[in-house]
Structure 1
Amino acid sequence: MDSQWIGSLLLLAIPLLFFITALTNERRANWRLAMNISLLALAISIILGTLTVMDSLTLSKNMTWITHSPVSLVMLGLISFIAFVNIRYSSAYMVGNREEERRYLRWLLLTLGSVTLVVISNHMLLMMLAWISISISLHRLLIFYPERQRAVLAAHKKYIFARLAEACLLGGMFLLYYQHQTWLISDIYQTLSVAKELSYLDQFAATLLAMAALIKCAQLPLHGWLIQVVEAPTPVSALLHAGIINLGGFLMIIFAPLIMLSNSAQWLLLVIGGLTTVLAALVMMTRATVKVRLAWSTMSQMGLMLVECALGLFELALLHLVAHSCYKAYAFLNSGSEVESTMKRRLAKAQPPTTTDWILAGLLSIALVIGLIWVMNLPEPYSPWLLFAIALTLLLAERKSRLNQASIVSMLGLAAVLLVIYSLEKTGAHWIASSMTTSVGWAGDLWVAVLLIGFFIGYILLRYHANRPAMTRVWRAFYAGFYLDEWVTRLNLRIYPTRLPVRFKPKKLQIPKEELIK
């Protein structure tokens, strides 16, 4: 048995171990075994990833439906790490009820096994089956507390949208098979990498895959379920936001040549993903609940990741995916402490930036970014660098509005360090997922730039001018999410109604009249 077979069998063993542990998890919740399996998966992904980068391991010719691609191994390592952290946190979070522990861990392991099977699949039908399995097992976690109306309603909407995404994904895969006569993703990738244009069937398939990614990433207006599933246990929210919802971006990366040759798919991602990025980020500013703010933030980040894919910046999308997953896992599992930190920030006296602060911060940020582009001779698109310049501008201008005020020199040094680190990470990610030339050209770059400038203006208005009478209606519209979810919910319940659990009315406190204070 050669190293190719060993590598493929080791990869296949990871989801199988998750599945077997879930099925044998009947007598008691074996948390330690689950953690050991996730650590084993992390070790396998690191070892195989190192061998693949060193060209010491290639795809087995006899087991081509399992892939050793660097992107898949990075995703496998990321999911394994998040799985270990999540299982360890859940072992303490769910303690107290053995029946709930067994039920929770069983569906959690089935979900993790399905996610790992998706990222190692090189066969489209195998990926499709694993994708459906994720939806079914995750649905059981989302309604873990079936007596909660909001959780059941959110899971119902998620169920409908998941079926819609699966229909788009299945349709796109069947079209690709019909056109190329192969189920292997690697073969389709190689064929389209040297193609100059797409056939009509390939164009349609690319559009269907883009629609599946948008639905999977909870983009506007099919986003409401993501806001409401915070009713589920906290580790379920962490798993959803850190390791499952970003599979839409992973889908775009593994079908990168197909997306880059399809104008319709790229503009679909640019328009819907771009609008979701800006609007969700601004809506997040109006929300008070920590988990709800994190949910809106996830929508915005997923939209930005899809925009990066549409611009051909797949190395940046992969870097964004990994960073966002680690951050969201930490943010949700640490949401209890975040409540106290948020209250401290609100109580701290903030000094609004002056006009001079804004002008100085903008000029310094633009100078830093343009200098880096000129020194490194960076190619188009430039809109992601505009986003980085906006982030640096906010960092420098609001240096006095933080709990610990900083000088312009120290913040400028921090901005330079962040710029260098970002450039190095982006360069490193290029070895795993390289960028490609987009067909939308300067028009797509200009569209994203306009959206980012609109976000900057909206941020200033909502942050520093929200108390003005003219901003009252604007604030109310953003706070309500433009009522998009209400319209979609009514439509869902009209087309596919469901019965929500009955909410029992609490007993009213009866106080005798003679005990009332007169």
Structure 2
Amino acid sequence: MSWSEPLFTLLLSLVPFVLGMGAVTSARQSESQAWQTARLATLGGLLLALLLVLAGVSGAMPAVVGWWQTTPLHLIMLLLASFISFIVVRYSATYLRGEPRQQRFVMLAQTVFAAVSVAVLSDHLVLFLVAWLIIGLSMHQLLMFYPHRPRAALAAHKKFLFARGAELCVLAAFVLLYLHHDSARISVITSAYAAPAEPLSVSEQAAACLLGLAALIKCAQLPLHGWLIQVVEAPTPVSAALHGGVINLGGYLLILFSPLLLQSTPAQALILVVAGISSVLAALIMMTRISIKVRLAWSTSAQMGLMLVEIALGLIELAMLHLLAHSCYKAYAFLSSGEAVQQNLLRHRAPARRPSRVEWIMAGIISVAMVAGLAVVAKYATDSTAFEMMSPWVLLTLALTAMLAERRGQPGSGSGLRFIGLAALVVLTYFGLKSLFAALLPTVEHTASVWADLWVSLLFVLLFAGYCLQRYGLHLGWVQKLNLYCYAGFYLDEWVTKNTLKFWPHRLPGRINAKQLHAASREGSQ
């Protein structure tokens, strides 16, 4: 063992240790001191994560150090979690000024991110599962920061039950994998599936399906999505931490065990069907919402579904890029939701203009030409099979078509050449970032079936058609009826809530006025 390995083990262990000590210290300090400690702890964790990423990129660290994994996947996730924790804590110090029980919030927030850093670095099944459990329990307490709000209590109750169900699935999958490989090392287990060999056994198939089910539950896929929509009752920083960090752990779980998942046809089918349909329905439901935070919550459910579909198709580098972009965007969107209200008002005040049929056709032709050109470049510039799938090109083409066709209906719209240039920039950025993450992440030998590719392509076409109908077809009677079902969320959450409360009853708090709530909170903090 070289002298550098103990040093890197110490540095890796310091990230969760600093956040954990910050949580313990903050709980015993005054409000101002607690926030100062939290800012220093999260800044220290961010600087350590940045240092470790630089060391990992330079090739100075081995892939496994002690109980930690240090591949680009793990180090990038550590840097992302550290960045989100630093931003959320800085914002919360101002947002929660004057609120009671601030020390409790600071302690729980740091505990969540300390556990997240353990989960994304862990190379041991038990350590990963313990960290996953701590994240869920601590986040439950944050979601109950306003315990007297009935909707918040109902959402937290449902999330608590669903989270325990996801943890049981992960536990069962880990037990099966441990018995099969006789090792609790995650790196040992995943390396066994690096290259396709003999068909998976029944226990391995079951483990893959259980991991897929856990990810679907954790990522709030329909019909177990209602809690994610209702937790907007929690403070905005909690929503930012949840949507920008914690909920992505379901996707990270599948990326981590993707070598196993991509050899299990039943697990892939489960994710492609459930997450694919959830993504389309959640996106259509989102368009019927007015509240900014509720729209963002539905958007998260849709984006998580799309990310899980990408993983099931074997597009690991695209899923990782999606995870990073979604985390940063959602954290920013929630923390700037006040500005989003103003932007939404300006967008609604802008004179709407329905694109003509000619504009749609021209936009489609330009988009197809751009994407086809990129596809030709990708074929000759890279050997990656990830660019050979049809569904990502279909989604990119439809998105560019909508952007170009509707350019005149957007506030501050410019010339057609400006939007064509913007579309070209989007295409090149997609190619560049996808190629970058394909180089950073280990190559997984997998070719998705034609039927899976066609299924996902069909879902994208249906989403595009539903978008156009909601935007320009509401004068039709059957579209209005469909829109009403979308507004009601197809009554899925009502059905789940009814059966959840029947299975595990929970007494919800009654509504009280703000003065009573403030007094009760102050008494509870003393």
More deviation in 251-260 or 228-237?
Answer: 251-260
- After TM superposition, give the deviation of residue 42 of structure 1 in Å: 2.0
- After TM superposition, give the deviation of residue 39 of structure 1 in Å: 2.1
SS of corresponding position for 1:245 = helix
Contact 1:261/1:439, CA 8 A, preserved across alignment:
no
**1:307 match:** 309
| Matching residue's letter, 1:357 | E
SS of corresponding position for 2:407 = coil
- After TM superposition, give the deviation of residue 407 of structure 1 in Å: 2.0
| Matching residue's letter, 2:352 | A
- Quick one: distance in 2 between partners of 1:149 and 1:189? 43
- Quick one: distance in 2 between partners of 1:502 and 1:376? 59
**1:516 match:** none
Deviations 1:344-388 (A, max 9, x none): 111111111110111110111011111111122174212011111
**1:284 match:** 286
Contact 1:111/1:138, CA 8 A, preserved across alignment:
yes
Contact 1:22/1:110, CA 8 A, preserved across alignment:
yes
SS of corresponding position for 2:241 = helix
Matched, 1:52 2:53: no
| Matching residue's letter, 1:184 | R
- After TM superposition, give the deviation of residue 466 of structure 1 in Å: 1.5
Report 1:356-371 matches (<5 A). Answer: 356-371=358-373
Report 1:236-251 matches (<5 A). Answer: 236-251=238-253
Structure 1 residues 489, 435: CA separation in 2 closer, same or farther (over 3 Å shift)?
farther
Contact 1:313/1:436, CA 8 A, preserved across alignment:
no
- Quick one: distance in 2 between partners of 1:213 and 1:326? 20
Report 1:467-506 matches (<5 A). Answer: 467-504=475-512
- After TM superposition, give the deviation of residue 505 of structure 1 in Å: 7.9
Deviations 1:63-111 (A, max 9, x none): 2x211121111001011111111000000011114x4211111111111
Deviations 1:232-276 (A, max 9, x none): 000000000000001111111111110110001111111111111
- After TM superposition, give the deviation of residue 33 of structure 1 in Å: 2.3
Report 1:152-171 matches (<5 A). Answer: 152-171=153-172
**1:316 match:** 318
TM-score, with structure 2 as normaliser: 0.93
Count of residue pairs the alignment pairs up: 504
Matched, 1:178 2:179: yes
- Quick one: distance in 2 between partners of 1:434 and 1:357? 42
- Quick one: distance in 2 between partners of 1:329 and 1:148? 23
| Matching residue's letter, 1:120 | L
Structure 1 residues 501, 217: CA separation in 2 closer, same or farther (over 3 Å shift)?
same
- After TM superposition, give the deviation of residue 54 of structure 1 in Å: 2.5
- Quick one: distance in 2 between partners of 1:59 and 1:360? 50
Contact 2:208/2:264, CA 8 A, preserved across alignment:
yes
- Quick one: distance in 2 between partners of 1:330 and 1:130? 25
Q: CA RMSD in A?
A: 1.6
Deviations 1:368-427 (A, max 9, x none): 111111122174212011111111001100001011122221111111111111111111
1:269 to 256, 262, 271: 271
| Matching residue's letter, 1:43 | L
Where structure 1 has 5 or more consecutive residues not aligned to the other structure, the ranges are 508-518
| Matching residue's letter, 1:234 | T
- After TM superposition, give the deviation of residue 312 of structure 1 in Å: 0.5
Contact 1:217/1:303, CA 8 A, preserved across alignment:
yes
1:388 to 389, 396, 411: 396
**1:431 match:** 439
- After TM superposition, give the deviation of residue 55 of structure 1 in Å: 2.0
Contact 1:313/1:435, CA 8 A, preserved across alignment:
no
Report 1:124-203 matches (<5 A). Answer: 124-196=125-197, 197-203=199-205
SS of corresponding position for 2:408 = coil
**2:123 match:** 122
**1:205 match:** 207
- Quick one: distance in 2 between partners of 1:249 and 1:47? 25
Structure 1 residues 223, 183: CA separation in 2 closer, same or farther (over 3 Å shift)?
same
- Quick one: distance in 1 between partners of 2:64 and 2:68? 8
1:328 to 314, 327, 330: 330
More deviation in 484-493 or 29-38?
Answer: 29-38
**2:44 match:** 40
- Quick one: distance in 2 between partners of 1:310 and 1:237? 27
| Matching residue's letter, 1:128 | L
Deviations 1:253-312 (A, max 9, x none): 111110110001111111111111111111110000000000000001000100010010
- After TM superposition, give the deviation of residue 428 of structure 1 in Å: 0.8
- Quick one: distance in 2 between partners of 1:246 and 1:505? 35
SS of corresponding position for 2:314 = coil
- What percent of counterpart residues are identical? 46
Deviations 1:105-163 (A, max 9, x none): 11111111111111111101000000000010000000100010000000000001001
**1:103 match:** 104
Contact 2:360/2:405, CA 8 A, preserved across alignment:
yes
Contact 1:141/1:236, CA 8 A, preserved across alignment:
yes
- After TM superposition, give the deviation of residue 431 of structure 1 in Å: 2.2
Matched, 1:415 2:417: no
TM-score, with structure 1 as normaliser: 0.95
- Quick one: distance in 1 between partners of 2:89 and 2:209? 37
Contact 2:196/2:445, CA 8 A, preserved across alignment:
no
- Quick one: distance in 2 between partners of 1:22 and 1:46? 21
Where structure 2 has 5 or more consecutive residues not aligned to the other structure, the ranges are 380-384, 516-526
- After TM superposition, give the deviation of residue 193 of structure 1 in Å: 0.9
SS of corresponding position for 2:388 = coil
- After TM superposition, give the deviation of residue 59 of structure 1 in Å: 4.3
- Quick one: distance in 1 between partners of 2:64 and 2:116? 22
- After TM superposition, give the deviation of residue 50 of structure 1 in Å: 2.3
- Quick one: distance in 2 between partners of 1:36 and 1:11? 18
**1:405 match:** 413
**2:68 match:** 66
2:79 to 72, 77, 81: 77
- Quick one: distance in 2 between partners of 1:449 and 1:251? 25
| Matching residue's letter, 2:98 | G
| Matching residue's letter, 1:393 | T
- Quick one: distance in 2 between partners of 1:359 and 1:230? 40
- Quick one: distance in 1 between partners of 2:396 and 2:47? 34
Structure 1 residues 59, 370: CA separation in 2 closer, same or farther (over 3 Å shift)?
closer
Contact 1:217/1:246, CA 8 A, preserved across alignment:
yes
- After TM superposition, give the deviation of residue 329 of structure 1 in Å: 0.6
2:228 to 218, 226, 229: 226
- Quick one: distance in 1 between partners of 2:63 and 2:425? 39
2:449 to 441, 452, 458: 441
Structure 1 residues 155, 3: CA separation in 2 closer, same or farther (over 3 Å shift)?
same
| Matching residue's letter, 1:86 | V
Structure 1 residues 59, 345: CA separation in 2 closer, same or farther (over 3 Å shift)?
closer
Structure 1 residues 435, 348: CA separation in 2 closer, same or farther (over 3 Å shift)?
farther
Contact 1:8/1:67, CA 8 A, preserved across alignment:
no
SS of corresponding position for 2:510 = coil
**1:512 match:** none
